Amino acid sequence: MNLENVNLTENCLTLCSEKTVSITVHVLLYVSAVAVVLLTVCGNLLVIISVCHFKQLHTPNNILILSLAVSDLLVGIILMPLHFIWKTESCWIFGLILCHVYNFFSFHLPCVSIHCVALIAADRYSALNNPFFYSQEVSLSLMCVVVLFNWMFSVCYNFALLYFNGNFTDLTMCPGECLFAQSEIWSLVDLVIVFIFPCAVIIILYTGVFFIARRHINAIRGLVNLRTTGDDETVKHSAASETKAAKVLGILVFVFLICLIPYYICTFIGDIVDTKLFYDLMNYALIVLYLNSFINPIIYALFYPCFQRSIKLILTCKIFQAHSSFINVIGSTI
């Protein structure tokens, strides 16, 4: 939304008024919101505990998954409750300071999460494309530096985005509102940095991962055919691995784009559509964007047997046993 249009607005865009929905619907909305928040928090907590506790999961790739889970956990703790209460009550009841905090984290945490996804794609492509270089040069300490840089970049970038658009100094709001302003130039910059660039990286690198994996599988099939023509089980296993890789990569890209595209469409139609319609659309787009934090632990962690085993150990409280951090959770090759 253009800052000048916001400050020149004489009438409040939203008013804290009597609820227009029945008590049953109101309660149902809160129950649904609590369920989504709890599932988001619990799912990401399980991933965080798994990576931190089990020594076998202390790998560079899992450091990125840990960073993703932390950002998604904060979305579930900070953004989801505030947003769901705000929209259920049709009124911002938390004051101006918390509004600024909410707006900052609403930019910062999704930005960290999106760039983590892009870094995971780069990590997996590097590991498959040049495994010898990856095993020698990519260490836990290096990945921790990369993760720290990602978080610091997001903090600096999003603070600059909000500050230079006057959100901390010039923006005036009516009681019950929590707005943010963003110029067309900054909208374009944000689109490139937080959407176009990471999306291009994800699509290109995951496509490369798929073709490299398929090439490796074809090479394994060739070796099997050279050694013995009767080893159908290995060939079937290779075909199953290829199918699984295609499905997982397809789900990764599809869900990621579905969650992000609605929000960035809304950022460009603020000056075109009716103001109330814009806020309704932005409301739903933000809900879809936040739901990505609920889906991420399922896609990036729970699809893999090592995380399934570690989560089972956590839920059965076996992590409290002596030397439980050294339990074999990887098992056979995934």
203-238 pLDDT per residue, tens = 898 888 888 877 766 776 666 666 655 455 655 565
pLDDT(277) > 90: no
* Listed residue (324, 312, 305) closest to 46, CA to CA: 312
pLDDT at 16: 65
pLDDT at 215: 78
pLDDT at 180: 81
Q: Which of 45-59, 176-190, 278-292 has the highest average model confidence (pLDDT)?
A: 45-59
φ, ψ for residue 134, nearest 5 deg: -60, -45
Q: Compare 70 and 231 and report the one with higher pLDDT.
A: 70
pLDDT at 272: 73
* Listed residue (185, 241, 179) closest to 213, CA to CA: 241
What own/partner pairs with CB < 8 Å and gap ≥ 24 does 47-53 have? 47/297, 47/300, 47/301, 47/307, 48/73, 49/314, 49/319, 50/301, 50/307, 50/310, 50/311, 50/314, 50/329, 53/310, 53/314, 53/319, 53/324, 53/325
Rounded to an integer, what distance in angstroms lies between the CA atom of residue 320 and that of residue 313?
A: 9
Residue range 255-275, pLDDT digits in tens: 888 888 888 888 777 667 666
- Work out the average pLDDT over 159-174: 83
Query: Going from the N-terminus, what domains does the chain have, and what CATH number goes with each?
Result: 19-326 (1.20.1070.10)
pLDDT(240) > 80: no
What pTM did the predictor assign?
A: 0.86
Lowest mean pLDDT among 168-182, 214-228, 290-304, 309-323: 214-228
pLDDT at 305: 81
pLDDT at 221: 65
Residue range 14-45, pLDDT digits in tens: 456 556 668 888 899 999 999 999 999 999 99
pLDDT at 63: 95
Q: What is the mean pLDDT of the chain?
A: 82
Rounded to an integer, what distance in angstroms lies between the CA atom of residue 81 and that of residue 91?
A: 14
pLDDT(5) > 60: no
Residue by residue, DSSP assigns 101-147 as: HHHHHHHHHHHHHHHHHHHHHHHHHHHHH-HHHHHHH--HHHHHHHH
pLDDT at 9: 43
Confidence of residue 78 (pLDDT cuts 50, 70, 90): very high
Q: Compare 249 and 77 and report the one with higher pLDDT.
A: 77
Asked whether 78 and 299 are in contact (CB, 8 A), the reply is no
123-to-126, 169, 208, 214, 278 alpha-carbon distances in Å: 5, 40, 12, 18, 38
Lowest mean pLDDT among 137-146, 234-243, 303-312: 234-243
Residue range 118-146, pLDDT digits in tens: 998 899 889 888 888 888 889 999 999 99
Rounded to an integer, what distance in angstroms lies between the CA atom of residue 290 and that of residue 260?
A: 9
> CA 233: distance to chain centroid?
37
CA dihedral 274, 5, 79, 110 (to 10 degrees): 90
